[in-house]
Amino acid sequence: MAKFERKGKGGQPKINTASLPDVVFMLLFFFMTVTTLRETEQLVIVKVPEASEVAKMERKDLTSARPPWACRRVTVRIHVSS
């Protein structure tokens, strides 16, 4: 019969970190709900421009944000002569 020997002297067991993300999110949620933001006075006065008149746009497609290559549809035809 063979004898089995332990490698090492037993040492300390490793810490289980499986629940660590739960604890971190609970602390994050706690501090987000409890913390109050300071109210400070603005040092710079910002003057926002006002509209002089309001008009309804006839073509709303001009206001959509599209990449430059998607604005027009281009058909390319290649003729190969033999």
Which amino acid, one-letter code, is at 61?
Answer: D
pLDDT for 71: 58
Separation CA 24–CA 29 (nearest Å): 9
Q: What's the pLDDT at 31? A: 93
pLDDT at 77: 78
Query: For residue 60, what are its two tokens?
Result: 């709303």
**pLDDT given at position 68:** 61
Q: Which residue has the tokens 């609970």?
A: 26
pTM to 2 decimals?
0.34
CB 38, CB 32: distance < 8 Å: no
Q: Per-residue confidence of the chain (82 residues) as pLDDT tens digits?
A: 567 776 766 677 788 888 899 999 999 999 999 988 888 887 888 888 887 877 777 776 666 666 666 656 667 777 777 6
Q: Which of 41, 20, 21, 23 is nearest to 31 (CA)?
A: 23
